[in-house]
Chain A
Amino acid sequence: MIVLLGVLVVILGFATRRNPLLVVGAAGIVTGLLGKLSPQEVLATFGNSFASARSVTVFVITLPVIGLLERYGLQEQARNLIGKLGKLTTGRFLTLYLLIRQLTASVGLTSIGGPAQSVRPLIAPMAEAAAEAKAGRPLPQRLREKVRSHASGADTIGVFFGEDCFIAIGSILLITGFVNSTYGQHLEPLHLALWAIPSAICAFLIHGARLLNLDRQLERELAVAAAENDLTAHAGLRTEDAK
């Protein structure tokens, strides 16, 4: 029972907004020691699991080329492109991206997108440019943040609810690996992948509908922001008069 204190360390550390790295380190040490591992075994568990989890961090290899392209104006060119695709609204564009991300992830191409690979250089600038083209002026800070957040959200939801339909993805391999070694059963990755399809369809319907609704939201909030601008402009004039 006492080993559950390790979970408590995570909850408390998270709730009090400690640095997540320190929380993970402390929870690991506490749980290990409470679970009657010797300090040496705790260190060995840290080392062994770090070594076998390296594939989680290898996306770093794409950073130099993306950085190079950004120096030469990749983001700016993405903006130019969407400028030409004037008819696609922010919501429709992101819905289209969600679909593409799900479909590509479901054939295992998860590394096509991602915050560093596609959202920052391509998707966020394109979504923003679409909203600006419609508004006819730069977006207020709050709406800019909202559009960028949704660009990231479409990417994440797309990959999460696409990748599990692929047989050789980490989460599927984790399931089969865990069950086969712990319970001595044999599960086929393909069966697991097939059972991920219904949820993937739900994800597209629900999030796609929300993204399409984002267009209406932006329109409303832009109208409000414009009205506020007018008001402050008028107020400014009146103080000028009073002088």
Chain B
Amino acid sequence: MIKSEHFFWLVGAVFLVMAAQMVMDRTNPRRFGSAGFWGLLGAAFFYSTGVVDKSLPAEPLGVAVLLLIVLGGCGLTGKGESHTPPREKRAASAALLGNKLFLPALTIPVVAMICATLVKDWKIGGEPVLEPGYETILGLGVGAVAALVVGMVLLRERKVSVPLHSGRNMLESMGWALILPQLLSVLGSIFQTAGVGEQVRRISEAVLPDGQQFVAVAVYCCGMALFTIVMGNAFAAFPVMTAAIGWPVLIEQMNGNAPAVLAIGMLCGFCGTLVTPMAANFNLVPAALLELKDQYGPIKAQLPTAAALLVCNVAIMALFAF
């Protein structure tokens, strides 16, 4: 059986190899900081396996996460010179290869889809081929590897180091923003463990007028959006707001339809994600990847839609969830 942990090891190995490339790259003014950051991240992906199955203590991994935060947060990482050939050369290559260039890129989703639908049911000796529950993620991994093979055969590229160097350049230009979402999930867990949701519930009970259904709906929806804006992650906001208002007030007290309240509540959080710079992977990373001067460009493009959708979500919940 291919397990999700195997895939995490592969990702960890990619980080480690790229870190080794960074150490050698003298064009990067902070090559040791960069290599330390991505190398530590790669090692953490391996060590995590032991933390998940409880064979290794979690505290050292916590120390590693804090080190990552310091390395990335204090600007100790940098980037080297890009390996991309000049534009004329790329245009000539595009003219030569034509639409064949799309083939490897399309391999990723096609293989991922096949894994999530067909391979999902395959069994060898009574054991599923892909770990149940992780078919889509594993499909992404299998698809990416297949796409790399297809790409290298198609482009007659013999050295594996070439795609790895190109990928490393992209990794360096995204920088620390790449691990922010994962760290936000970490923050959400800490909030939950420390009892932030309980405190918000007390405040909302003191503030909310009794039996005002529409007001409660609006507070839950806007609260999800606001908390998401602050934390940059609807996943982190959801446990806090649901423990505070969604479950005790809307579902238990007012007999709301649980799936409707919670699903729409999560989507209100997504409205918040669309407008916050804290959601770096959706808003700031694209701006960096697209080489925008205004790093808030995507947020400005999304803001009016997010506001209108928040109103729609409040209306849908108020009308249909009770």
Residues of A within 8 A of B (CB): 1, 3-4, 6-7, 10-11, 14, 19-22, 24-25, 27-28, 31-32, 34-37, 40, 42-77, 80-81, 104, 107-112, 115-117, 119-122, 124, 141, 145-146, 148-153, 155-157, 160-161, 164, 168, 170-172, 174-175, 178-179, 182-183, 185, 187-188, 191-196, 198-199, 202-203, 206-207, 210
* Residue contact B62 to A7, C-beta cutoff 8 Å: no
Pairwise interchain contact A175-B184, C-beta atoms closer than 8 A: no
| CA distance in complex: A168, B137 (Å) | 10
Q: Which of B84, B91, B302 is packed against the most chain A CB atoms within 10 Å?
A: B302
Q: Which residues of B contact A121 (CB under 8 A)?
A: 105
How many Å from the CB of A129 to the closest CB on chain B?
Answer: 13
Q: Say yes or no: B282 contacts A156, CB within 8 Å.
A: yes
Interface pairs (20), CB distance under 8 Å: A4-B196, A27-B187, A44-B58, A45-B190, A49-B185, A57-B178, A64-B164, A65-B151, A68-B157, A73-B92, A73-B94, A73-B95, A111-B108, A119-B290, A148-B292, A164-B266, A187-B258, A195-B257, A195-B263, A199-B309
If A46-B66, A67-B163, A206-B309 touch, whether A77 touches B186 (CB-CB below 8 Å) is no
A104, B108: Cα distance in complex, Å: 13
Tell me, rounded to whole Å, the shortest Cβ–Cβ distance linking B261 to chain A.
Answer: 9
* Interface segment out of the listed B22-30, B45-53, B122-130, B209-217: B45-53
Q: Verify B62–A178 contact, CB threshold 8 A.
A: no
Contact between B45 and A54 (Cβ–Cβ < 8 Å)?
A: yes
Residues A20 and B309 in contact, CB atoms below 8 Å apart: no
B280, A20: Cβ atoms closer than 8 Å: yes
- Chain B's closest residue to A148 (CB) is B290
- Contact indicator B190/A28 (Cβ below 8 Å): yes
Q: List the 5 closest pairs (A to B, CB-CB), nearest first.
A: A35-B194, A67-B166, A73-B94, A43-B62, A47-B61
Q: Is the interface of B mostly helix, strand, loop or mixed?
A: helix
Measured between beta carbons, the chain A residues less than 8 angstroms from B188 are 49
**Minimal beta-carbon separation of B263 from chain A (angstroms):** 4
Closest residue of B by beta carbon distance from A62: B144
Beta-carbon contact of B266 and A22 below 8 Å: no
- B65 pairs with A50, CB closer than 8 A: yes
Selected from A75, A104, A175, A210, the residue in CB contact (under 8 A) with B90 is A75
Decide if A61 touches B141 in the complex (CB within 8 Å).
Answer: yes
Residues of B within 8 A of A6 (CB): 190-191, 194, 196
Q: Is the CB of B166 within 8 A of A156?
A: no
Q: Which residue of A lies closest to B68 (CB)?
A: A21
Residues in B with CB closer than 8 Å to A112 are: 108-109, 112
CB atoms of B289 and A115 under 8 A apart: yes
B97: nearest residue on chain A (CB-CB)? A72
Q: Is there an interface contact between B262 and A192, defined as CB atoms closer than 8 Å?
A: yes
Known A50-B48, A156-B298; judge A116-B170 contact (CB<8 A). Answer: yes
B238 adjacent to A76 (CB under 8 Å): no
Interface of A is mostly: helix
**B263 contacts A164, CB within 8 Å?**
yes
Cβ contacts under 8 Å, B184 to chain A = 24
Residues of A within 8 A of B253 (CB): none
CB of B276 to closest CB in A, whole Å: 8
Query: How distant is B52 from chain A, measured CB to nearest CB, in Å?
Result: 5
Q: Does B19 contact A (CB under 8 A)?
A: no
Contact B99 A53 (CB under 8 A): no
Report Cα–Cα, A111/B200, bound state, in Å.
35
Q: How far is the CA of A48 from the CA of B193 in the complex (A)?
A: 12
How far, in whole Å, are A37 and B196 apart by their CA atoms in the complex?
13
User: Closest CB-CB distance, A100 to chain B, in whole Å?
Assistant: 11
Closest chain A residue to B136, Cβ basis: A108
Given contacts A152-B290, A171-B266, A196-B263, contact A160 B190 (CB under 8 A): no
Nearest residue, chain A, Cβ from B270: A160
**Additional pairs, 11, CB under 8 Å, beyond known A42-B190, A202-B313:** A10-B230, A21-B72, A25-B66, A45-B193, A50-B65, A51-B49, A68-B104, A68-B163, A71-B162, A156-B302, A161-B267
Instruction: Report if A50-B108 is in contact (Cβ < 8 Å); known contacts: A67-B169, A70-B84, A156-B274.
Output: no
